[in-house]
Amino acid sequence: MCVLALLSKGDNYAYDIASRMAEAVGMGEGTIYPLMRRMQNDGLVSTYLQESGSGPPRKYYKLTKAGAGALKSQITDWLAFEVAVRKILGDVT
């Protein structure tokens, strides 16, 4: 969901996504490539190559219509989950 959300703000490549996710939630780099592959297989993202000038060519990922739909429904689910957890935590917090 977070990766889809990042892509909804603009095309990006795995290495940069991984860096942002690492900083935000501590995601490891080894996680991103299988994840992107899965999302591409599921038709949530499409890719294109682009030269970088600062290293090897980057594989950019772009959110598809299906990806945007998935993001929307995942956000709905996430918010419901958040509420459910908050309810369980209740006055403990």
Partner DNA sequence: AATAGTATCTTGCATGACAAGGTATCGTGT
Partner DNA sequence: ACACGATACCTTGTCATGCAAGATACTATT
What SS3 class is residue 60? strand
22 exposed, middle or buried (CB, 10 Å; 0-12, 13-18, 19+)?
A: middle
Binding at 30: pick from a copy of itself, DNA, none (beta carbon under 5-8 Å per type): DNA
Q: Considering only residues 15-44, where is the footprint of DNA by CB under 7 A?
A: 15-16, 18, 26-31, 33-38
CB distance 61 to 47 below 8 Å: yes
Q: Considering only residues 32-91, where is the footprint of a copy of itself by CB under 8 A?
A: 71, 75, 78-79, 81-82, 84-85, 87-90
Partners of 62 in beta bridges: 46
Binding stretches for a copy of itself (CB under 8 A): 1-2, 5-6, 8-9, 20, 24-25, 71, 75, 78-79, 81-82, 84-85, 87-90, 92-93
